[in-house]
Structure 1
Amino acid sequence: MMTPKPTGPPDGGWGWVVAAAGFAVNGLSYGVLRSLGLAFPDFAEYFDRNAQETAWVSALALAVQQAASPVGSALSTRWGARPVVMVGGILTSLGFVFSAFAHSLLHLYLGLGVLAGSGWALVFAPALGTVSRYFSRRRVLAVGLALTGNGASSLLLAPALQLLLDNFGWRGSLLLLGAVTLHLTPCGALLRPLALPGDPLALPRSPLAALGLGLFRHRAFLVLTLGTALVGVGYFIPYVHLAPHALDRGLGGYGAALVVAAAAVGDIGARLLCGWLADQGWVPLPRLLTVFGALTGLGLLAVGLVPVVGNEDSWGGPLLAAAGVYGLSAGSYAPLIFCVLPELVGIGNVVQATGLVMMLLSLGGLLGPPLSGKGQSQQIRSPPSPASGDPAL
């Protein structure tokens, strides 16, 4: 009996279930990371540390998640995305549970930064690469839908996390987040393998070959990854520091959550609109990527101008507006950078290419947030009580 030959991407069917799984994976990784800044004041107060030191929690998680993404891609190439993502969900959950019992900031670095970051490294690239494999004509829209997960998660999780912090403290909140992030495991179970004509005929012979480092021989891919590293220096700064900065300026816990939510709303709308626009084929993807990369820089500039356009008593409005503008610009950039990869390296190498792009992003993700934290006050102020005139109440 002859084995049926692989056909092209189905552009639908189970692919939409895979896209939904990618949505959840994105929300339970980057969405959680974006909202985690709400707990920084509690970390700073409990461990008597400043803003720059607490920012290393998210910076390490981002750096480990992205630097180790090629490992997730390599393991996915060898054993498939499904088991790799399931194991990653377990590691991420264990990282939060471990951190809930922390007695020093170093424990948070190890728990949230290294252990949870390693788990996230195993889930993102395989899940997103699988979404790309299931679509062709509607690839940017499908990837854009999957990537709205972090925006939707930020929108819902930011106020929810603040509520948890108010009622259960940071230790109880981390325990509950450990239970929530464990849902990455069933998401991985939904990633059904798909054989495509462009797949390599044989598995890589060595772990080094499985990393896909040979893709750097493609000049266009090399230029893309180097440009991505430069963008990454500024890309994550607002997402890491928006909530702590809002708290530092006296907006209160729920005011800070509203700032995160404003960025999330802009992010969701931009990713859906960008996905639809790119799939129309009116403008080549590389050109769109250049345009939206420039817009991301302008959005970052808008956040940086907040202290210039408003005084300390009226920063709430400008900060909300800047967060929304940055969400719109940065959200447009994200789907394009991953959807241009099949055109550069072929659909059979898209999972490995995704991991390598994440690795280059990690260089900026590691340096940007801590260095920018030097501009904040040395000790994050606790949110004011209602009696002191909290403007968020």
Structure 2
Amino acid sequence: MTEGNNLPAGTAEVLPVETAEEEQQEKQMNDKGDSKVSVDGQEQSAAPSAQEVEFVHPEGGWGWVVMLAAMWCNGSVFGIQNAFGILFLSLLREFGSENDEDLRFRTALVGSLSMGMIFFCSPIVSVFTDIFGCRITAVGGATVGLVGLMATSFVTHLGPMYFTYGIVFACGCSFAYQPSLVILGHYFKKRLGVVNGIVTAGSSIFTISLPFVLSNLLEKVGLHNTMRVLCIFMFVLMLAGLTYKPLLPNRSNYSQTGRRCPPMSQLFNVNIWKSMGYRIWAFGIPAALYGYFVPYVHLMQHVEERFGKETNKEVLLMCIGITSGVGRLIFGRVADYVNGVNKVYLQVSSFVVIGLLSMMIPLCNIFGGLIAVCLLMGLFDGCFICLMGPIAFELVGAKDVSQAIGFLLGLMSVPMTVGPPIAGFLRDRLGNYDVAFYLAGIPPIFGGAVLCLIPWVEARRRRAKKEGQAKEQDVTQAMLEHGKAQEDVQQKTGESVL
């Protein structure tokens, strides 16, 4: 018997042929993207891409339940955040003092810190989702958010709310929110755009309805009981996370090799920062957002001071929510007809308009004019949000788009947190919100101007790439011609010797 085989010794002569055939087959498999995975000390052939190629998205079925769960997640998380202006007024009355000049600054910091933490945790949430999956991450996040909101309902001073509401509740919302977007790709492919539109519309629906609900609850049951009622939203969010049944295998290679944690190269993708266009985008977007969240926090208080406490101020948030949903549908469709990174110009226009509208808020002495401003602001807010994904795809490609958006959201956390407290500080010092809204309009205009550099930079990069390819072709052609000339010389030399 030949060692390591069950073939007789007389058949040893055919082994080289069979080995050559096996090596050729193995080479072909490796060329197709197959890999070797060690299992119990033996190497077995594994094809990580085969499952992705053969997988057929259901395009429905249980996916519709997942879509509704993700819609509830999007609505409950950002609906509560966008309605903080209603809670802001109640917090001022609950913990306020007429002699405390810094109250608005400290109260606004609660809401802005909460919104900022949602974005700040985004890069970390993407790693947890890769390691533990969508279901565990979402349910765990909703549980943490429920604990934070319940703890907030027992707080009797403003200070502890920075931790219970601004950090614990917000971190839970972040961990519950991001998996709701990832899981949609397990069930939909052809209909993914429509499904994403429906899911993101959840925040608009909650932004429209929640201010009225909160106003009635605050009037009838008070601040603390209202927080306990909101805990029901987070409990339903926990149940919604249980529906996130994964269908696709884990995209990370470490899950196939039995490793518990991914390598650092997968945790922190540095390739995205090699793109000059992405670096400008990652700077321009945060720079434009220093005044973005100011109307959501301070507009209700401004309306009370300008038009009286009896004014139906909740209708303003309703207007922003309605037109924001409409804007996402309209500009998302328009972006399909705009080529490449020129989509950035749509985002630039949205920032410029939002900046100008913020400056117009103090100029509105008629409540109807303020409604018109909020309608337009919501429309272009939807434009800004719906273009985040397509622009990221154009700048870094499909392979790196997930972490590109995650890091951008993390950078957005700083301006989202800083802007509203500064506006509250200016109100306390100057006696009104006029200067605060004027200044809130400057960062969007500045950030939009910075983003205008992206198409120019990307055009230069494409020209340089084409020139480099042309040079490579010229060098290759010269090498071929040189090799042909040497062959001609050798042939001539051979003929003369003969």
Q: TM-score with structure 2 length normalisation?
A: 0.68
- Once residues 129 and 212 of structure 1 are traced to their aligned partners in structure 2, the CA distance between those partners, rounded to angstroms, is 18
Q: Higher RCO, 1 or 2 (CA under 8 Å, sep at least 6)? A: 1
Aligned pairs for 1:250-289 (under 5 A) are 250-252=307-309, 255-278=312-335, 281-284=336-339, 286-289=341-344
> Which stretch shifts more, 247-256 or 108-117?
247-256
**Partner of 2:225 in structure 1?**
172
Structure 2: 5+ residue stretches without partners: 1-44, 433-498
Question: Structure 2 counterpart of 1:302, which letter?
Answer: L
The 1:59/1:91 distance shift into structure 2, 3 A limit, reads same
Give matches, 1:212-231, under 5 Å.
Answer: 212-219=268-275, 220-231=277-288
2:118 maps to 65
SS at 1:235 equivalent: coil
The yes-or-no answer on 1:372 pairing with 2:420 is no
Q: Matches of residues 121-140 of structure 1 in structure 2 within 5 Å? A: 121-131=174-184, 135-136=188-189, 138-140=191-193
Shift of 1:118: 0.8
Pick closer, same or farther for the CA change 1:35–1:142 going to 2, 3 Å. same
Q: How does 1:60-209 map to 2 (within 5 A)?
A: 60-131=113-184, 135-136=188-189, 138-195=191-248, 199-203=251-255, 205-206=261-262, 209=265
**How far apart, in 1, do the equivalents of 2:127 and 2:373 lie?**
38
Q: What SS does the aligned partner of 2:289 have?
A: helix
Tell me the equivalent position of 1:387. Answer: none
In the alignment, what sits opposite 1:235?
292
Matched, 1:12 2:65: no
> Shift in Å at residue 288 of structure 1?
2.6
Q: Is the 8 A contact 2:304 2:311 kept in 1?
A: no
Q: Which has the larger radius of gyration?
A: 2
- CA distance in structure 2 between the aligned counterparts of 1:218 and 1:125, rounded to whole angstroms: 25
Which of 46, 65, 72 aligns to 1:24? It is 72
- 8 Å CA contact 1:59–1:366 kept in 2: the answer is yes
- Work out whether residues 341 and 353 of structure 1, in 8 Å CA contact, stay in contact via their aligned partners in 2: yes
Which deviates further from its counterpart, 151-160 or 174-183? Answer: 174-183
Cα deviation for residue 336 of structure 1 reads 1.6
What is the alpha-carbon distance in structure 2 between the residues aligned to residue 330 and residue 165 of structure 1?
Answer: 28
| 2:406 corresponding residue in structure 1 | 355
1:272 CA displacement = 2.1
Q: Contact 1:303/1:323 (CA < 8 Å) preserved in 2?
A: no
- For the residue of structure 1 that corresponds to 2:128, the secondary structure is helix
How far apart, CA to CA, are the structure 1 residues paired with 2:191 and 2:279? 26
- 1:388 corresponds in structure 2 to none
Change (3 A) 1:103 1:287: same
Per-residue displacement from partner, 1:310-338 (whole Å, max 9, x unpaired)?
33xx3x22221111111000112112203
CA displacement 1:273-332 (0-9 Å, x = unmatched): 233334xx3213632343134223312321321222x33xx3x22221111111000112
Give the Å deviation of 1:369: 1.5
Give the 3 Å change call, closer, same or farther, for CA 9–202 of structure 1 in structure 2.
farther
How many residues in Structure 1 have an aligned counterpart in Structure 2?
A: 374
AA of the residue aligned to 2:78: Y
Which residue does 1:386 correspond to in 2? none
User: Can you give the 5+ residue segments of structure 1 that lack an aligned partner in the other structure?
Assistant: 382-393
Q: Secondary structure at the match of 2:425?
A: helix
Q: Deviations over 1:330-385 (max 9, x none)?
A: 1121122034444555556554443322201102101111112234356999xxxx
Structure 2: distance between partners of 1:53 and 1:325: 30
Deviation, structure 1 residue 264 = 0.6
Distance 1:226 1:298 in 2: 19
The structure-2 alpha-carbon separation of the partners of 1:341 and 1:193, relative to structure 1 and needing over 3 Å to count, comes to: farther
Aligned residues: percent identity? Answer: 24
1:267–1:24 distance in 2 versus 1, CA, 3 Å: same
TM-score normalised by length of structure 1:
0.85
CA distance in 2, matches of 1:56, 1:5: 48
Q: Secondary structure at the match of 1:96?
A: helix
